[in-house]
Structure 1
Amino acid sequence: MTARFAGRTVIVTGAASGIGRAAAQLFAQDGARVVCADVSEEVAATAAAIGEAASPLRVDAGHEADVVRMVDHAIAWTGRLDVMVANAGISGGLATIFDTDVALFTEVLRVNLLGPFLAIKHAAPRVAEAGGGAIVLTASVAGLRSGAGSPAYSASKAGVINLAQVAAQQLSGSNVRVNAICPGLTETGMTRPTFDYAREVGKADRLGRLNPLRRGGQPEELAEVVTFLASDAASYVNGQAIVVDGGLSSSHPITRQEYGKTTV
């Protein structure tokens, strides 16, 4: 089977853990050379696990000079850039609107929304120069409606969805596609404390119980969708927000009848 990304160069931000790490590994398995970027020093472990097809880089995805350096690094390393995955993000905690200070709200927007904006701004021209390719942004089901994240996180992810749509339009004629994924509850570096705590207290079965699959997602499941959107198989998919949440967002909240049981 031909490797989908043979001869192509990919940047993945947030590659130190979770969806970013899984995506970087899958791109490399499919023939890509991958710049593994993250603010955490753990990104070196991701690159080491991949081998010669990976180049680790410490960057702050919400800092413009770092994003420029990251794109320049990819070009200097391989001479081209074909795919940009803007995946880095932070949660912002669980505070309400009234308990969230401006500094926290601003920081969440800086990383989660300014980061993808900068990725598009500086990566898209280089992807276009290579003949076209793809940009994939990590949004969230929290960006679709309330109930899945803090106010700052939810607002930032709603912005990412709209940014994908706007960018797809403004890149008309460039052969650069821009899409977003909207994960539901997934076991990542950001959510690991929740998963670990649930296991410790014997309540792991309650994670993801509100979606029809009755479980949380794994990073590899999201990585499959990221790489699909970046591949030629998705050549006519553009400006979309693809939800990957086990069916959570397919319904308004209800009291569900258990499978195989009769309601009296």
Structure 2
Amino acid sequence: MSTRFSGKSIIVTGAGSGIGRASAIGFAAEGAQVIAADRSDAVHETVRRIEAAGGTARAFQGDAGSEADVAAMVKVACELQGGIDVFYANAGISGGLTGLFDCTVELWEEVLRINLIGPFLAIKHAAPKIVERGKGAIICTASVAGLRSGAGGPPYSASKAGVISLVQTAAQQLSGSNVRVNAICPGLIETGMTRPVYDHAREVGKIDRIGRLNPMRRGGEPEEIARAALFLASDEASYINGQAIAVDGGLSSSHPVSRQEFGKTSA
């Protein structure tokens, strides 16, 4: 059994389900002490699963887009686990698929607050503590929707493009610190955020069409993204910094989409 993270203190946001839960479980299985953070009380189930498997985790209920909450979860990790080695800023929301000209300012503000300001807050508050440990890593969940148009709604896509730029900027700002900052760009993954899409496909008997636009012809699993996160957090990725790694079955090699003409609605 791998012990890549034995004795390491790790925070994972969005740990109540999907990629965050799979990552928290994965880190704990490899020896980490995990702060599993989520605004949903489902995070307690994540901790229960980790403890049932013999791992160490603590639940933190809070909002990843709130500076007070992010500062508090960092403080908890430092007080109870002696510091921070890795912060996985994974929490995010989709914002739906509303067209650009139908979006409200309020929708944009909420999506940007959680999806982009959240990772900024993680970097702002965790990086100085990771520096104190001598080295470490910050991983942010971006998306293939942040690479180019065609894989998400307008606020979501813009927020994830911002995450990609943020990790590049942060990597430069942390020059000489031995703190690496990278992003993962998932494709279509079955999580709480995408569950309506999967549920609808099952209801109408079209589950086989999920992921049909990528060369692997399937959607991804949360564990497949978690494995990428664990790699980027580990010493195995010691020379990977400031990068956005697509884990999408090959979707971003083309991003084929059907386009809607301006001023026309789809049938």
Distance 1:131 1:253 in 2: 43
- 2:32 corresponds to which letter in structure 1? A
Cα shift at 1:253? 2.9
| Pair 254,76 (structure 1): closer, same or farther in 2 beyond 3 Å | closer
Paired residues for 1:107-122 under 5 Å = 107-122=110-125
2:31 counterpart of 1:28: no
Distance 1:161 1:26 in 2: 24
2:93 counterpart of 1:98: no
Partner of 1:236: 239
Partner of 1:153: 156
- 1:155 corresponds to which letter in structure 2? A
Distance 1:155 1:99 in 2: 15
Cα shift at 1:193? 1.3
Partner of 1:164: 167
Cα shift at 1:2? 4.6
2:62 counterpart of 1:59: yes
Partner of 1:217: 220
Distance 1:157 1:249 in 2: 14
Cα shift at 1:244? 0.4
Unaligned runs of 5+ in 1: 256-264
| Pair 58,252 (structure 1): closer, same or farther in 2 beyond 3 Å | closer
| Pair 254,200 (structure 1): closer, same or farther in 2 beyond 3 Å | closer
- 1:31 corresponds to which letter in structure 2? G
Q: Which runs of 4+ in 1 moved over 2 A?
A: 251-255
Distance 2:38 2:79 in 1: 18
Partner of 2:90: 87
Distance 2:86 2:68 in 1: 20
- 2:17 corresponds to which letter in structure 1? S
2:79 counterpart of 1:76: yes
User: Is the CA contact (8 Å cut-off) linking 2:36 and 2:60 kept in structure 1?
Assistant: yes
Q: How high is the TM-score relative to the length of structure 1?
A: 0.95
Cα shift at 1:67? 0.4
Partner of 1:260: none
Distance 2:190 2:211 in 1: 10
Cα shift at 1:60? 0.4
Partner of 1:47: 47
Cα shift at 1:252? 5.4
Distance 2:195 2:99 in 1: 22
Cα shift at 1:152? 0.3
Distance 1:2 1:33 in 2: 15
- 1:199 corresponds to which letter in structure 2? R
Cα shift at 1:230? 0.2
- 2:4 corresponds to which letter in structure 1? R
How many residue pairs get matched? 255
- 1:242 corresponds to which letter in structure 2? I
RMSD: 1.2
Distance 2:220 2:235 in 1: 25
Distance 2:255 2:161 in 1: 18
Unaligned runs of 5+ in 2: 259-267
TM-superposition CA deviations, 1:76-130 (whole Å, max 9, x none): 1111110000000000111111100000111000000000000000000001101
- 1:167 corresponds to which letter in structure 2? A
| Pair 50,92 (structure 1): closer, same or farther in 2 beyond 3 Å | same
Cα shift at 1:251? 2.2
Cα shift at 1:187? 0.4
User: Is the CA contact (8 Å cut-off) linking 2:180 and 2:242 kept in structure 1?
Assistant: yes
2:12 counterpart of 1:9: no
Distance 1:81 1:164 in 2: 18
Q: How high is the TM-score relative to the length of structure 2?
A: 0.94
Distance 2:92 2:145 in 1: 13
User: Is the CA contact (8 Å cut-off) linking 2:150 and 2:256 kept in structure 1?
Assistant: no
User: Is the CA contact (8 Å cut-off) linking 2:150 and 2:257 kept in structure 1?
Assistant: no
